């Protein structure tokens, strides 16, 4: 299996979370490619089984959460190109993610009714629960 992990980070928490996701997938035998938004390669992504996309949560802390403008532009540039099943969306935040995942899906052109895999963290560290979630995701990708 191949995974492309792409993130947008300001202070480093999201970048760290992306690295830990990549390391975990790699430890499970997945061939991983980790890059920031500017290095995203559409051709490589087209060949990947898993597309892991992340951004830090922006908003007014309690309401109006959304991905940063740079991530929104990026998402729009690939909207409709990959099926929802291949995505894992992730974010780091301080208080609440609120409308963050809904907005991420929207920018990617995925309907809200589509249940896309998602991970979130306040610390940027991969928890035991996150590891289990990723393991289940990989297992389900293997089982059509
Ligand atoms: C301008 C700004 C707006 C933010 N808005 C929210 C928010 O609405 N909800 C929240 O939980 N965290 C919010 N945060 C906290 C960040 O999402 C959090 O610190 C995140 O981990 C930063 O990721 P980074 O280290 O990759 O840049 C905000 C931070 C900034 C700087």
For the chain, the structural domain boundaries read 2-142
Mutate to test the pocket of ligand 1, among 9, 12, 56 (most ligand atoms within 8 A of CB): 56
What are the pLDDT digits (tens) for 74-128? 999 999 999 999 999 999 999 999 999 999 999 999 998 999 999 999 999 999 9
pLDDT on residue 142: 77
The set of protein residues with a Cβ atom below 6 angstroms from ligand 1 is: 9-15, 56-61, 65, 92-96
CA of 57 to the centre of ligand 1 (A): 5
Question: Domain spanning 2-142 has what CATH number?
Answer: 3.40.50.360
Dist. CA 13–CA 128, nearest whole Å = 18
45 neighbors 32 (Cβ within 8 angstroms): no
Instruction: Answer yes or no: is pLDDT of 68 > 90.
Output: yes
pLDDT at 141: 86
**pTM for this model (two decimals):** 0.97
Contact 13/56 with Cβ under 8 angstroms?
yes
Q: Confidence class of residue 144 from pLDDT cuts 50, 70 and 90?
A: low
| Cα atoms in the 13 Å half-sphere on the side-chain side of 104 | 30
- What average pLDDT does the chain have? 96
């Amino acid at each position: 299996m191949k995974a492309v992990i792409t993130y947008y980070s300001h202070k480093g928490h999201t970048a760290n979370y992306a690295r830990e996701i990549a390391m975990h997938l790699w430890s499970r035998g997945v061939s991983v490619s980790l890059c920031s938004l500017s290095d995203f390669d559409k051709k490589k992504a087209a060949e990947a089984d898993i597309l892991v996309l992340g951004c830090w949560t922006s908003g007014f802390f309690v309401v109006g959460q959304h991905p940063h403008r740079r991530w929104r532009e990026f998402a729009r540039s690939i909207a409709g190109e990959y099926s929802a099943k291949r995505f894992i969306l992730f974010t780091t935040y301080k208080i609440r993610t609120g409308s963050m995942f809904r907005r991420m899906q929207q920018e990617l052109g995925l309907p809200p009714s589509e249940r896309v895999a998602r991970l979130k963290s306040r610390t940027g560290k991969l928890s035991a629960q996150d590891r289990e979630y990723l393991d289940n995701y990989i297992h389900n990708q293997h089982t059509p």
